[in-house]
Amino acid sequence: MGINQTRAIFLFILAINLLSYSNANNPVSSENSRIKILAIFPHPGKSHFFVFKPFIEELARRGNELTVISYFPRTEKDEHLPTYKDISLANKESDVFLNVVNLNEFKRTSYIYEYFSNIFMLSYMRSIACENLRNPGVKKLIENGEKFDLVLVENFNTHCFMSLVYKLNVPFIDISTHQPMPWAIYNFRLSNDASFIPMSLTSILKPMNLFYRTINALSLYVSSGIYWTIFQWNDQAIVKEIFGPDVPNVMTINKNVSVFFINTHYTIHGGASYPPNVIEVGGIHIESKRKPLPRNIAKFLDEAHEGVLYFNLGSMIKMSTIPKDKLNILIKVFRSIPRKVIWKWEQDDIPELPGNVMIQKWLPQYDILNHPNVKCYFGHGGLLGLTEGVQSGVPMILMPIFGDQYSNAAAAQYRGVAIILEYNDFTEEKLRSAMDQIFNDTRYGENAKRLSKAFKDRMTSPLETAIWWTEYVARGNGLPYVKSEAITMPWYERHLIDVHAIFVLFSLLALYVQYRIVKYAFAYVLRSEDAGSKKRANLSKKRD
C-alpha cells in the first residue's frame, strides 16, 4: 500500500470521526433530537404575537419542526424557514387587531369603570380566541392525530386551548407577553406580591400607601374571582361542545405546565418571588443586530442635531382617531419646539403639519430608538415599546390608554426613566412640562442609561434562555423538578391556615390554663384570707 493511499485512508477515517463528533455535540443538527413543536397564539393582537415571533423563528432555524396556530402567517417577504408551518386563523385582514382602538371612545371615567371596561374587553377577546377551536385548520390538525413533542401556548385571557393540550397529552410551556395575569398568579400559586407590585389591570402608581395596597389586593381577588367563574365557565362550555364532557377542567389542566415564560424583567417591574419554572424573558423580541434605517428616515434623524422626539402609540391604537382638541395641542407644541419629531400616523397627511415633523404609516421602532439623536420616546406604555426604550437607554413620556399599559408606565416612572401623562387630562401645559423635563433634566437620561445597562447585563440573552428551557423540557425534564409543590396543595395548607389554627388553639389553651391558674391562685388567696379572718374573729370572741 503506497504512502498516498495510506494518507487518504487516514484522512477519510479522521473526517468520519470528526463528523460523528460534530453530530454528537450538535443536538439541533441531529435528526433524533429535532423537536416537533405546536405553538398556539389564539389572540388577534399583533403586539402579542410579535413578542415571541423571533423565539419560534429561531427554534425553526435550529432545525426544529414548528406548527404555528396564529393570526399572523408568514409571507413571501419573511425569511424562508422550511420547518415552519402555519395554520392561519385570519380569514380576512379585519380579523387582526391592528389600528383598531378608537381614541374618541376613551373619556374621563372613574377607576372602577375603567377597571371593569378592561375586564369586559378581555372577555370579548376571550370569545374570539375560543372560537378558533372551530377553525378548519385546527379541526384538521385534531382529526389527523398528528403527534408533537411539546406545545407552546399563550397564557392571556382564556384557557380553552388547554383542551387541545389535553388531547395531545404532551408537555407544554405557557407564554405570557406581559406580567402574569391575576388568575395566572392564583392558578400557579405564585407569590402574591400585591403589597409592592401593581396588578397588570390597575392604574396604581408606586410606591403604594395603605389605601392603594388595599385597592391593588382587591383588584387581584376580584379579577381572579371573575375569571374563575364567568371566563372559566364559558371556556368549559365551548370545550364541552367541541370535545365532549370528558375533558377535565381547563384550569386544572393548566396547572400541569412545565415552564411559564413571562415577558418581564425585575429591573423594570421589580423583583417578584417566582418558583424555578417561571422564567423572565423580558426583551425576547429585541434582535441583537440593528437594521439600516430607510434612507429618508436616516436623513431626517442625522440632520436633527438638537435632538428628536419619537412618537408612537403602538400597533393597536389608531392615532388618526385622536380628538381634534388633543391633535391641535400636539401640533401646536411640536411646532414650537426647536427639535424634530417623527410620528407614527396611519393616514397620508395631517392638516397644518409643522415642518419639523415627519409622519409615517410604519416605523422601524427599535432602529429609530437606537439613533444617537433620539432623546425622547413618547409612547403608550405597551411592553414591546417600553422594553425597547429601556434597552436603548432612551427616557420616555408615557400616555397609557388601556390594559397593562398603566402598570408598565408606573414601573418606568418609579425607575426614574419616564413621566406619565394622563390621556384624559392632556393639556398643552402638561405636555410642554413633560418634554422640558425629559430633554433638559439630565437625571432622566442618566437613569435611562443605568437601567439599560442593568436590563441588558444577563448571563444569556432572553432568546437563548427561552430556547434552553424549551429544549430542557423537550428532553424529558420538567414537572417533577421545577414545578412548585404549592400548585397541588389545598389553599389552607399553602397559606398555613391549619398551622396558624393550631397556634391559635394552643394560644387559647395556654390562656385558658393561665386563666385557671390565676383564678385558682386568687381563690386560694381569698380562701386563705377568709380563713384568717374567721380565725382572728374566733380568737377575739374567746378573749371576750
206 and 300 share one domain? no
Q: In three state form, how does the secondary structure of 182-229 look?
A: HHHHHHCCCCCCCCCCCCCCCCCCCCCCHHHHHHHHHHHHHHHHHHHH
pLDDT of residue 260: 96
The answer to whether residue 530 is domain-embedded is: no
Which helix (H) or strand (E) element contains residue 473?
Answer: helix 462-474
Residue with more model confidence, 431 or 205? 431
pLDDT-derived band at 542, boundaries 50, 70, 90: low
All cell numbers assigned to 181 = 395575569
> Which residues does 286 contact at the CB level (< 8 Å), separation at least 6?
366, 387, 388, 391, 462
In a domain, 276, yes or no: yes
User: Residue length, the chain?
Assistant: 544
pLDDT at 539 over 80: no
Of 397 and 201, the structure prediction assigns the larger pLDDT to 397
Whether residue 99 is found in the same domain as residue 245:
yes
- The β-bridge partners of 70 are 88
* Overall domain count for the chain: 2
Mean pLDDT, residues 510-515: 94
Q: Are residues 308 and 222 both part of a single domain?
A: no
Instruction: Specify whether 301 is located in the same domain as 275.
Output: no
On whether residue 393 sits in a domain, the answer given is yes
Closest C-alpha to 196, from 166, 224, 216, 221: 216
The answer to whether residues 145 and 267 belong to one domain is yes
pLDDT in tens, 147-191: 999 999 999 999 999 999 999 999 999 999 999 999 998 888 888
Task: For residue 72, name the pLDDT band (cuts at 50, 70, 90).
Answer: very high
Average pLDDT over residues 379-399: 96
Q: How confident is the model at residue 395 (pLDDT cuts 50, 70, 90)?
A: very high
Task: Extract the C-alpha cell encoding 25.
Answer: 455535540
Burial of 263 (0-12, 13-18, 19+ CB in 10 A): buried
Does residue 542 lie in a domain region?
no
Tell me the pLDDT band of 27, cut-offs 50, 70 and 90: very low
Listed in sequence order, the residues at least 6 apart from 397 whose beta carbon sits closer than 8 Å to its beta carbon are 376, 377, 378, 379, 418, 419, 421, 434, 435, 438
Give the number of other CB atoms < 10 A from CB of residue 502.
Answer: 11
Domain range for 450? 295-456
For residue 20, being part of any structural domain is answered with: no
- 158 or 530, greater pLDDT: 158
**How much is the pLDDT for 420?**
95
Higher-pLDDT residue of 11 and 78 is: 78
Range of weakest confidence among 140-144, 296-300, 429-433: 140-144
d(CA 235, CA 254): 13
Provide the terminal-to-terminal Cα distance of the chain, rounded to the nearest Å.
Answer: 146
- φ and ψ of 211, to 5 deg: -60, -50
d(CA 294, CA 271): 39
Whether residue 44 sits in one domain with residue 189: yes
pLDDT > 80? residue 13: no
pLDDT in tens, 453-498: 999 999 999 999 999 999 999 988 766 778 778 888 888 888 889 9
One domain for residues 388 and 475: no
What does the pLDDT read at residue 459? 93
| Cβ contact 342:379 at 8 Å | no
Residue 543, pLDDT score: 64
Instruction: State the average pLDDT for the chain.
Output: 88
Kindly state the average pLDDT of the residues 84-95: 84
pLDDT confidence band for 438 (50 / 70 / 90): very high
Rounded mean pLDDT, 68-83: 92
Q: State the pLDDT confidence band at 507, using cuts at 50, 70 and 90.
A: very high
In a domain, 238, yes or no: yes
Same domain for 427 and 452?
A: yes
367 in Cβ contact with 290 (< 8 Å): yes
- pLDDT at residue 29 in the model: 39
pLDDT-based confidence at residue 135 (cuts at 50, 70, 90):
very high
Estimate to the nearest angstrom the gap between the alpha carbon of 125 and the chain centroid: 17
- Judge contact between 380 and 402, C-beta under 8 A: no
Q: Cβ neighbours of residue 274 under 8 Å, at least 6 residues apart?
A: 190, 191, 280
Q: What is the structure's pLDDT at 367?
A: 96
Residue 132 belongs to a domain:
yes
Q: What is the pLDDT of residue 419?
A: 97
Cα 261-200-464 angle, rounded to 5 deg: 20
Same domain (yes/no): 276, 299:
no
Domain of 191: which CATH number?
3.40.50.2000
pLDDT in the model for residue 522: 86
Q: What is the mean pLDDT of residues 225-243?
A: 94
HEC readout, 425-465: HCCHHHHHHHHHHHHHCHHHHHHHHHHHHHHHCCCCCHHHH
Q: Are 71 and 122 in contact (CB under 8 A)?
A: no
Last residue of a domain, one of 436, 456, 476: 456
- Same domain (yes/no): 330, 448: yes
For residue 39, what pLDDT is reported?
A: 97
Task: Dump strand ranges (E) for 290-329.
Answer: 308-311, 317-318
Higher local confidence (pLDDT), 539 or 216: 216
Residue 397 above 70 pLDDT?
A: yes
Q: Is the pLDDT of residue 26 over 70?
A: no
Among the three residues 398, 427, 456, which one is the final residue of a domain in this structure?
456
Last residue of a domain, one of 430, 456, 482: 456
Quick one: 196 and 307 in the same domain? no
**Given its phi and psi angles, is residue 504 left (phi above 0), alpha (psi -120 to 50 degrees) or beta?**
alpha
* CA nearest neighbour of 232 among 204, 252, 213: 252
Mean pLDDT of 387-412: 94
Residue 229 lies in a domain: yes
- All three cell numbers of 60, joined, read 425553526
Residues 471 and 451 in one domain: no
Contacts of 202 (CB under 8 A, 6+ apart): 115, 215, 216, 219, 406, 407
What is the pLDDT averaged over residues 499-524? 92
**pLDDT > 90: percent of the chain:** 65
pLDDT at residue number 32: 57
Taking only the tens place, the pLDDT of each residue in 334-386 is 999 999 999 999 888 888 899 999 999 999 999 999 999 999 999 999 999 99
* In the predicted structure, residue 266 carries a pLDDT above the cut 60: yes
- What is the per-residue pLDDT for 28? 41
